[in-house]
Amino acid sequence: MSASFNGRTALVTGAGRGIGRAVAVALSDAGANLVLLARSKDQLASTADEVSARGHSAVAVVADLSDATQLKQIGRDVLEASGGIDILVNNAATVAPLGATTEIATEDFLSTLILNVVAVTALTKALVPPMLERGWGRVVNVSSGLAVRPTSMPGGNTYVTSKAALEAHTANLAAEVAGSGVTVNIYRPGTVDTTMQSWIREQDPQRIGEELHRQFVAAHERGSLISPERSAAALLQHLAGRETGQVWTVDSAPAAEAVRPK
C-alpha cells in the first residue's frame, strides 16, 4: 500500500511542533498541500518552511481552538485559505489542567473540552460536508490510549475525559458517514517525545500529584518515548487505506516497507 496524497490538501491542527508538525511534513512527503493551524505564528512558519522545501504549498492559519466564539470563523478561514480540505487531522490538544479533580477550576475544564473535543466537531462541521459531496475524504482524530485506560492517569481527569469523548465522537461519526468515501478514524500516537511530555515533567509534583509526575519522569528516563516522526510515519501508513471507524495505534500500522512516500 503506497501512501500517495498527490493533489490532496490537508489541514493539520497543532502543526507548529511535536506530532502535528511531523504529520504535516510526512503528508507533504506523500504529495499533499498543507494548511497548518496553531496559535504560535513562529512555529507554524517553521513548519511551513519545511513543507515548502519539499515543493508543496503550506498556508498558516493562526487561531486559538479553545475559544468557542471563534470556531465558526476558524472553519471559514481554513476554507478560504485552502479552497477545500481533503484530509483533516485533528491533532491539537492540551493535557492541562493537571492535579486533583476537586482543585480544577470549572473554566479550565471547559476550555480543555472546547479545544480537545468541541473544536474537532466544529472543524468537522465546516470541512466534512464538501468531502461528502466529492465522495472522498479522510478524518483522523488524534487521541490517546488513556481514553480507555483512565485509571492510569490519576490527576489527569480533564484530559482522559476529553479523549474518551473524542473517541466516542469519532466512532459515532464514522458510523454516520459509512459508505460515503469519507473515512473517520482514531489515532493513538504512542508515548512521544514532545513539548506535551516535557511540560508535564516540569510541573510541580506536589501540585499535579507525585505519582503522575513520577510516571512521566520514569518513562523519559527509561528512554521509552518515541520520536514524533516515527508516530507520524505510522499514521501515514494507516491513512493510505480505506478503513473507517477504527482505532489506529503506532504499533498496529501496516509494515513500514510497504509505504513509499513520494
Ligand X SMILES: NC(=O)c1ccc[n+]([C@@H]2O[C@H](COP(=O)([O-])OP(=O)(O)OC[C@H]3O[C@@H](n4cnc5c(N)ncnc54)[C@H](OP(=O)(O)O)[C@@H]3O)[C@@H](O)[C@H]2O)c1
The footprint of ligand X (CB under 6 A) covers: 13-14, 16-20, 38-40, 43, 64-66, 91-94, 115, 142, 144, 189, 191-192, 194-197
Residue with cell 468515501: 181
- The smaller minimum CB distance to ligand X, of residues 191 and 215, is found at 191
In the complex, the smallest distance separating the C-beta of residue 134 from ligand X, rounded to whole angstroms, is 26
Per the annotation, the verdict on 159 as an active-site residue is: yes
In the complex, the smallest distance separating the C-beta of residue 257 from ligand X, rounded to whole angstroms, is 25
Closest CB to ligand X belongs to which residue?
Answer: 18
- The smaller minimum CB distance to ligand X, of residues 4 and 246, is found at 246
Active-site residue, from 122, 146, 159, 193: 159
Alpha carbons 22 and 131: distance in angstroms, whole number: 24
Burial class (CB in 10 A: 0-12, 13-18, 19+), 237: buried
- The smaller minimum CB distance to ligand X, of residues 18 and 97, is found at 18
Half-sphere exposure of 59 (CA within 13 A, CB side): 15
In the complex, the smallest distance separating the C-beta of residue 192 from ligand X, rounded to whole angstroms, is 4
In the complex, the smallest distance separating the C-beta of residue 143 from ligand X, rounded to whole angstroms, is 7
CA-only gyration radius of the chain, Å: 18
SS3 category, 186: strand
Q: Is the CB of residue 71 less than 8 Å from the CB of residue 118?
A: yes
Of 211, 196, 122, 131, give the one whose Cα is nearest residue 159: 196
- The smaller minimum CB distance to ligand X, of residues 72 and 262, is found at 72
Q: Catalytic residues, which ones? A: 159
